[in-house]
Structures are given as structure tokens and as C-alpha cells.
Amino acid sequence: MKKISHISDVPLFQGLPKQQIAALEGIVIPRKYAKGKVVFSDGEDATGFHVVMSGIVKVYKLSPDGKEQILHIFGPGEPFGEAAVFEGRSFPAYAEALEALATWFFPRQAFVALVVKDPSLALNMLADLSRRLRRFTNLIEDLSLKEVPGRLAAHLLYLSEQQADSDAPILDITKGQLASLLGTIPETLSRILARMTRDGLIEAGEGREVRLLDRESLEELARGERRLG
């Protein structure tokens, strides 16, 4: 997995004057979490936010009977928990390390003070939150307007865009986690993967590899213009 080792490599801090980067370095606190550790909990007091240096973290909601919905999965360079800094005093969800995780932690008050002083940092934060909002809009659209096969198709196509070997993307998480990300359960995901394979849309490759055989149909599925056999 890739790593980020300097604050100036964080997209959120891109384009900031050196002085501001130095100020950020002044307030940051490095933290480490073992795989499976909870970084923060839903409702917990938000004293600051994190930026991933290395590892992966999932941010999720839990229902009383234990079902989880993953809201985000973040990797190196990505901030999380930042919305709580400017509003609620509490985190609106859980965060848990999916693998060994190292973060920079930015304390709320000190960070807000920097934002107030630097318009370009403020603009970066605004763009960041706006992007986050747009992603949520898409997640809501998926959950409400698409069936699980459509969500899965969309996700596979998304993965293939992100990755080099675009016709055979590798799942970056377990299938159980993927189910939670898509708003369903492992059994359902497993069945749909099987149906897609039967219909010749995909082929399960080595390990977590999934070969996309029929992009066209996957795209129609993702748009809700077609159903699975």
C-alpha cells in the first residue's frame, strides 16, 4: 500500500504557502491504531480530525441489531472526521482501522484558528466538504434508486477506473465489507456475484480479482436500464 509521509503531500493541504504547512506541522499529533481498533465512535466528542498516513480506515453506522452501513473507506492522504470539527461537537459515525493505521491528528481549536487565518486553507476545506457531500448524494441515490446488482455493477466499474489493469480490478476490501459498503449483506452479494458470473458479465479471477467481461451490460445495470437474468 502507498504511504504519505509529508503533510504537504495531503491533497487537502495542496497549494498552501510554506508558512501554513509549517503551522500545520506545529499542531499535528501522529497516531497509530492496530487493525480492528476503533478510532472514534458515533456520538463521541469530536476533539479534532484525522488524515490517513498509511493503512485503511472504514467509517460506518451501526443499527441496534448489529447491521453496519459503511459510509466511506479512506486510504493514505484522505481526511476523515473533519466535518465534526466545524459543527457538531460529536462524531456522526464510527471509524475503525481495517488494517494497521497511522494518522495525523489535528486538534479542533488549533486547526480552526489556522483556517480562520488562511483563506486558501478555508477554500480547500470547503472544496473537501463539498466533494464529500457529492459522494453522499451518489450513495443516497444508489441506496434508494438502484437495486443491489446495479450498485455492485457501479462499484466494479468504479474500481476498474481507479486501477491500472482496468479489465480485472482487485477488490480492495473483503466481500463482507463490500456488502456493507453497498448497503446489503454478504449472502446477497455472494448470490449476485454468482448470477453475474452465470450471465457472463464477470468472471471471478485469482483471489479478489474480478474480471469484467461485459462492460456494456454492467454499465446498463449500473444505470438501472437492465436487470439481471
Site residues (CB under 8 A) for a copy of itself? 61-65, 67, 69, 71, 83-88, 92-93, 112, 115-117, 119, 122-123, 125-127, 129-134, 136-141, 143-146, 183, 223-225
Name the residue nearer to a copy of itself (CB basis): 24 or 53: 24
From the list DNA, a copy of itself, none, pick the one residue 162 interacts with, judged by a Cβ distance below 5 to 8 Å according to partner type: none
From the list DNA, a copy of itself, none, pick the one residue 123 interacts with, judged by a Cβ distance below 5 to 8 Å according to partner type: a copy of itself
From the list a copy of itself, DNA, none, pick the one residue 133 interacts with, judged by a Cβ distance below 5 to 8 Å according to partner type: a copy of itself
Listed residue (189, 207, 185) closest to 153, CA to CA:
189
According to DSSP, the residues that pair with 58 across neighbouring strands are 73, 96
Do residues 153 and 218 make contact, with C-beta atoms less than 8 angstroms apart? Answer: yes
Name the residue nearer to DNA (CB basis): 133 or 194: 194
- Collapsing DSSP states into helix, strand and coil, what is residue 95? strand
Contacts of 219 (CB under 8 A, 6+ apart): 153, 157
Residues that bind DNA (CB under 7 A): 65, 67, 147-149, 174-177, 183-194, 204, 207-208, 227
Listed residue (73, 163, 185) closest to 193, CA to CA:
185
From the list a copy of itself, DNA, none, pick the one residue 174 interacts with, judged by a Cβ distance below 5 to 8 Å according to partner type: DNA
Name the residue nearer to a copy of itself (CB basis): 37 or 223: 223
Determine the Cα–Cα distance for residues 78 and 213; give it in Å rounded to an integer. Answer: 32
Contacts of 67 (CB under 8 A, 6+ apart): 185
Name the residue nearer to DNA (CB basis): 67 or 134: 67
Name the residue nearer to DNA (CB basis): 124 or 180: 180
According to DSSP, the residues that pair with 33 across neighbouring strands are 101
